[in-house]
Amino acid sequence: MSEQIDNLIQKEYAAGFVTEIESDTLPPGLDEDVIRFISGRKNEPEWMLAWRLEAYRAWLKMVEPKWAHVSYPDIDFNAISYFSAPKSAADRPKSLDEIDPELKETYDKLGIPLHEQEMLAGVAVDAVFDSVSVATTFREKLKEAGVIFCSISEAIQEHPDLVRKYLGSVVPRKDNYYAALNSAVFSDGSFVYIPKGVSCPMELSTYFRINEAKTGQFERTLIVADEGSQVSYLEGCTAPMRDENQLHAAVVELVALDNATIKYSTVQNWYPGDAEGRGGIYNFVTKRGVAHTNAHISWTQVETGSAITMKYPSCILRGDNSVGEFYSVALSNNRQQADTGTKMVHLGKNTRSTIISKGISAGHGSNTYRGLVRMNPGATGARNYTQCDSLLIGDKCGAHTFPYIESKNPTAVVEHEATTSKVSDEQLFLCQQRGIDAEKAVSMIVNGFCKEVFRELPMEFAVEAGKLLEVSLEGSVG
């Protein structure tokens, strides 16, 4: 059976293709001139450049974190190119009709028909192709509601006050090695501002895609939900097949002011490398949100891609009665390694957090849950509930759980539950004996395992996520 399982995991990466577009790419290497070049190309104001340079100088003094339960060869940061933009970016397309036909084709292959997006029900897409946003839709409609949804580069030009106030306010530049690097060289990303009392009229969605070989991508996303506002943000990713490791070190900051709600959903399907573990994306992302009084931040992620993942979407529950949630499905197949989880830091009174983590390991995959729940002295009456479940498929994979709990307030309640289970030969045979083939059986069992997380996803994303798991596991049983 384990042979059967091995076979089922073998499945070529369906999104593996490369678009040939001339890119305006900086040669590999990183120094202050590179940062000046990036900042200059974006016509950034002086304060932004200074901000980047300070981050860079801090980064030089920092060391790469090595505590995660993953192993990979040392990264040569001078072998990476820090800027790449499609050539047509110099004079931006005025409408979707003007964009490069090949680019359009890429989106079609990914199932994001840009020319039909305007008809898509209620979803605005800010498509990031390499480092520069090439198309933004629905902006006008959002404007009516007073919502700002644009690339971070544009926000720096057009909404400098908001950016200056909140950029780095949740993830400081010196927070960690990769956050510092991102702060120095971030290329582009999304900016969202929801004004007071406004419910964003549609779900906001960004598709990221890494395309240029050897170009690390450093997105920067900042979402600010003003008092009493609400927003749901979807992020979906896929990258073309490449034989070299690509570094991806994004920073996402969420600010939920009093009584605001932010729901952030991710489906991540970057190239995981081949069956022997060659190639694949390194996904070292810092995601964090601050919840003020009565605010609510919810992270939902479905992580099926990347060769190596280190990612801990976190909530700082600063205000009284604020709520943080983390729902995660992480799948490691073949040689994939994932070290992921969350941090819930309870500062305010009666703050509540829920963590539901589902790790799936198949092939030679390694899946680690790492989470921190901290109850600070002020967190009177705070509660946390954590549930970590691991599912093993085959007998060459691994699952690990590292929960850290720090409680400095005697009235705080922390609950932790963990289970590990295995897709057994007996289960597969029962399904087969009822006429259900092994592949369908595995996908049914895995989907059942993930149910609690999938129901947190917006409907169309949930369907996509189920499909993604099925594709990611195809070939893992005979």
Partner 1 sequence: MLTIKGLKAVAGDTEILQGIDLTIGPGEVHAIMGTNGSGKSTLGHVLAGRDGYAVTAGDVDFLGKNLLDLDPEDRAREGLFLAFQYPVEIPGVSNMEFLKAAADAHAEYRGDEAPDAVSFMKKARELCTVADIDPSFLKRGVNEGFSGGEKKRNELLQMMLLEPRLAILDETDSGLDIDALKVVAAGVNEMRAADRSFIVITHYQRLLNYIEPDFVHVLSRGRIVKSGDKSLALELEEKGYGWVDQEVA
Interaction site with partner 1 (CB under 8 A): 1, 4, 421, 424-427, 429-438, 440, 444-445, 447-449, 451
147 or 330: CB nearest partner 1: 330
Cα–Cα distance, 103 to 105 (Å, whole number) = 5
CB of 467 to partner 1, least distance (A): 16
> Distance (Å, rounded) from C-alpha 178 to C-alpha 287?
11
Q: Given the complex with partner 1, which of 232 and 472 has the nearer CB atom?
A: 472
Residue 33 vs 425, nearer CB to partner 1: 425
At closest approach, how far in Å is the CB of 236 from partner 1? Answer: 25
Q: Nearest to residue 262, comparing CAs of 225, 288, 294, 222?
A: 225
Q: How far apart are CB 452 and partner 1 at their closest, in Å? A: 9
Residue 390: CB minimum distance to partner 1, A: 13
**DSSP type of residue 382:** -
The torsion defined by the Cα of 214, 287, 461 and 69, in degrees rounded to 10, comes to 70
53 versus 431: smaller Cβ distance to partner 1: 431
Judge contact between 404 and 375, C-beta under 8 A.
Answer: no
Q: Which residue has the tokens 């995981």?
A: 272
Whole-angstrom Cα distance, residue 194 to residue 142? 10
Dihedral Cα 347, 351, 354, 355, nearest 10 deg: 0
Query: From the CB of 171, what's the least distance to partner 1, in Å?
Result: 35
Nearer to partner 1, 458 or 478 (CB): 478
Min separation Cβ 342 and partner 1, Å: 22
CA dist., res. 120 & res. 42, Å (int): 31
Q: Which is nearer to partner 1, 126 or 439 (CB)?
A: 439
| Strands (E) located in 257-397 | 261-269, 281-291, 296-303, 308-311, 314-317, 323-332, 337-340, 343-346, 352-362, 366-375, 383-393
